[in-house]
Structure 1
């Protein structure tokens, strides 16, 4: 495994921590077994996975990451994680847009629609967009390797970004406070979860950064969509540096 490779070469001290699985609550490796709730079914498999990795590399903190925080169910998670790593995907106005154009998001299924693409999405498409029947993602593996439906690939590949963004800008005010309230509740619940278990917390984006730092988080990622291949790496570098400086100064 890659950790063995790094350890054998004296590089293990460069590893901040390791996840046994990213967003394990959204994967099929631990299928639903009838256990109620979002996390309870994960307890046994995650306990075994974390203990195995800790035994092999006791000097490296081990955890798992959660794709969605459910504050009332955090106590269902196993005790062994050494880092509290949660992703704060609050859909808010984006979720409203997905629903308006006939797409699902997060754990929300796509709404029933008479036709697809819906008239709302069709009005946002670029003039050169192919028909949905003729469309396939450029690389066939993209459908096989993810749980993302072909409809979402189609929308993201062929929507006119100006139309898409305009809808978000026009409708954001109605969702702004609910988004902030949800994020505040998530940050506070994860901070309390981390305090109870005496582990540091890590999370996501500018309102959330301040809330996380005030709550005692030891690490915050501005957004998962800020890798070198994402547009914001080139368009928002000054913002990323400014906010990252607030995090690194703590």
Structure 2
């Protein structure tokens, strides 16, 4: 049973001259920003499994045994997984049934000299080489979550990344052929069919949230106001007992009124790149087609055995159209020396540390207060620093963990329902080995009064 709402007249929280809480740590027990369906946990501790739960499912890989992976997440205190459920592939009615039943996972493909493109990146480190029935894999995941007491946040990364890991371009070609103005409608119809399917299999109450799409602002989609919000409303009308929304990678924190009203939950992401952004700009690693790439600053950070850009080559052209990463990112992250990368960040983090802390705090507060005004639950499904090489340790180290804890503190203080410990806290990342830290953070999230 949920605790009754507090009488505002009894709120003795210390406040500034402007009426804002003096410090988020002092609030304690703030009521949630919106009502959560009764069948769901009072707090969500989220592990971000994205598309990796099927792109890293080959023999011996981290998601080959879904029951073991889910049991391990439960042992660390997680009660929610956020995944790409591939609704367009599985239920999009786009002629992809054969591919869904025998999805061949390749990753970004074989690289010259052995290995594969993306080998030292996060999320793109997919060796591939296997085939799976994705619908059966989805049911196995839900069955494991039922056994171990977890719920699932359903999202789609299909207009951002997922099809790039397939061996065939058929999945991407089929969804890319959908006219831009029709994509939200096709997504909503696919979700409607997937929800019906999961319901018939007895898993409806495992659904924590349905996101029309992940990070609509960083995907091959129109703005949410251009047809998306109508489809969220349509899907909500079809399933009024579920939370339905779409997520933003970088919500307009300084002008949240630009987010259309009508979404069922505020599932937004909070990244504060700070010193990481300074390094990325210095070495020009996220651009494409830069003259003279790699520049001198990036060359100084590369491994001694790094090939030239020409010798390393590129993945198949269609894979770059199917994802948001560039060939410069793949080359740079595959061949960066992670120790040199970390050393630069730690040597230069000083001037950015407090700015990053304040930015995380202010963005979480903006999301929470907007959600409170809309009377909907708030979640931070991704955060906190940003995209680093697979073996970089800056975000997993003292600075990154301190920023994550501050984000969690702020989220709890302002009534955020669900929070990720860190985007890197999942079985396919090295951070999964920081088990004591994860247990401690999840325990305090779940113990925080609602």
Question: Which TM-score band (shorter chain)?
Answer: 0.7 to 0.9
Q: Contact conserved, 2:210 with 2:243, CA < 8 A, in 1?
A: yes
Report the alpha carbon displacement of residue 240 of structure 1 after superposing the two structures with TM: 1.4
1:178 aligns with 2:377: no
Q: Residues 67-216 of structure 1 correspond to what in structure 2 (within 5 A)?
A: 67-104=249-286, 110=287, 115-136=292-313, 142-203=319-380, 204=383, 205-216=404-415
State yes or no: 1:54 paired with 2:236. yes
State the 1:138 CA deviation: 6.2
SS in 1 for 2:379: strand
CA offsets, 1:194-247, max 9 Å, x none?
Answer: 11001111114311000111111111101222221111112x122111111111
2:288–2:327 CA contact under 8 A, matched in 1: no
Q: Distance in 2 between matches of 1:156 and 1:64?
A: 29
* Alignment of 1:6 onto 2:198: yes
- Which of 16, 28, 32 is matched with 2:208 structurally? 16
TM-score calculated relative to the size of structure 1: 0.87
CA-CA distance at 1:42 after TM superposition: 2.2
Query: Which residue in 2 is equivalent to 1:34?
Result: none
Q: Which runs of 5+ in 2 are unaligned?
A: 1-192, 384-403
Task: Map Cα deviations across residues 128-155 of structure 1 (whole Å, 9 max, x no partner).
Answer: 1111112245677652321111001111
What do you get for the CA RMSD once the two structures are aligned? Answer: 2.0
Moved more, 160-169 or 179-188: 179-188
Q: CA deviation at 1:2?
A: 2.4
SS at 2:423 equivalent: coil
Q: Is the aligned partner of 1:249 residue 2:443?
A: no
For residues 423 and 281 of structure 2, what CA distance do their matches in structure 1 show?
A: 23
Count of residue pairs brought into register by the alignment: 234
Shift of 1:80: 1.4
- Asked if structure 2 preserves the Cα contact closer than 8 Å seen for 1:47 and 1:78, the reply is yes
Larger RCO, structure (CA 8 Å, separation 6 or more): 2
CA–CA distance in structure 2, aligned partners of residues 89 and 72 of structure 1: 15
Unaligned runs of 5+ in 1: 31-40, 105-109
Matching of residue 26 in structure 1 with residue 218 in structure 2:
yes
Give the secondary structure class of the aligned counterpart of 2:421: coil
**Normalised by the size of structure 2, how large is the TM-score?**
0.49
Higher helix share: 1
Q: Aligned pair in 2 of structure 1 residues 140, 244: CA closer, same or farther (>3 Å)?
A: farther
